[in-house]
Amino acid sequence: MNVARPVIIAGNWKMNTTPATAGGLAADIAAATKVEGVTRVICSPYVCLRAVREALQGTDVEVGAQNVHAEQAGAYTGEISAQMLVGLADWSIVGHSERRRDQGEDDVLVAHKIVRCLEAGLRPILCVGEQLEEREQGRAESTVRSQLEATIAEVRRLGRDLPADLVIAYEPVWAIGTGRTARGSDAATMAQAIRKVLTESDIDAESIPVLYGGSVTSAAIDEFLNEPDIDGALVGGASLKIDEMAGIVARAGMTAQARSSATAGAA
């Protein structure tokens, strides 16, 4: 276990809440998840960012966006650039499986979004993961490897390196809203594969947190956080439920405490 990595719980509200309801929900989640050692992030819809940020003032819960555009500015009707989010968010999800599926986003486009996050000072959560068909054909690891390698190559082609504060979320797409479940061992194996790709690309893989994101609930989170290679979770539907988030963060706090104790013991 690398105890230096932070434990992160990021909630992705997707296309839920309104400016009238988001602030209250964010404040209630912040109050219910006061757990030492856990980095908490709420990724709300764009239109709710200001309300969420204002509601979280005075707490240590951070605010994230769910996406950024791949360009700095231009004739892209309805889109939001990274620079527009400065002062509203500190994080952004990039390459979420739903955007890859619904908007046809590929690894090259995702790489451009990472660069935009770098320019705007946003901390990116890069999502990678395989479809059911790819897993059944034994191509889960090669799919994720390909996604990462292509993203890294494009970021470097643009003259940049991956952000030092990058977070990677492994999303087994086949386990999201399907009733099928991934195991902690599945996620751990993929986290190890992710770090292998990073190491082969001369990136300090041990410093980069890897989250699990696949229909995360308070009942299931224990299995994933028991894995030393998993550093938290990207939470979808459960992040809209105060009790669920309280349970997930409480369990994450146990992981954070164990890692802190291990660090102290090794000193």
CATH code, domain with 146: 3.20.20.70
The chain-wide mean pLDDT, for the chain, equals 95
pLDDT higher than threshold 80 for residue 65? yes
pLDDT higher than threshold 70 for residue 238? yes
Q: Is residue 1 part of a domain?
A: no
Q: Which residues are catalytic?
A: 96, 171
Mean pLDDT of 28-33: 98
Mean pLDDT of 187-208: 96
Q: Is residue 182 part of a domain?
A: yes
Q: Is residue 187 part of a domain?
A: yes
Say what the pLDDT of residue 180 is.
76
CB–CB of 123/91 below 8 Å?
yes
Say what the pLDDT of residue 178 is.
75
Report the number of distinct structural domains present in the chain: 1
Say what the pLDDT of residue 267 is.
60
Q: Is residue 2 part of a domain?
A: no
C-alpha separations of 78 from 17, 100, 197 in Å: 19, 18, 35
Lowest-pLDDT range of 95-104, 158-167, 175-184, 230-239: 175-184
Domain that residue 207 falls in: 7-266
The tokens describing 79, both together, are 């889109």
Which tops the pLDDT comparison, 174 or 140? Answer: 140
Say what the pLDDT of residue 3 is.
46
* Percent above pLDDT 70 for the chain: 98
Distance in angstroms (rounded) separating the CA atoms of residues 162 and 151: 9
Mean pLDDT of 180-201: 94
Q: Could you tell me which of 206, 207, 208 has the C-alpha nearest to residue 170?
A: 208
Mean pLDDT of 138-157: 97
Q: Is residue 202 part of a domain?
A: yes
Q: What is the pLDDT of residues 83-92, one digit of tens each?
A: 999 999 999 9
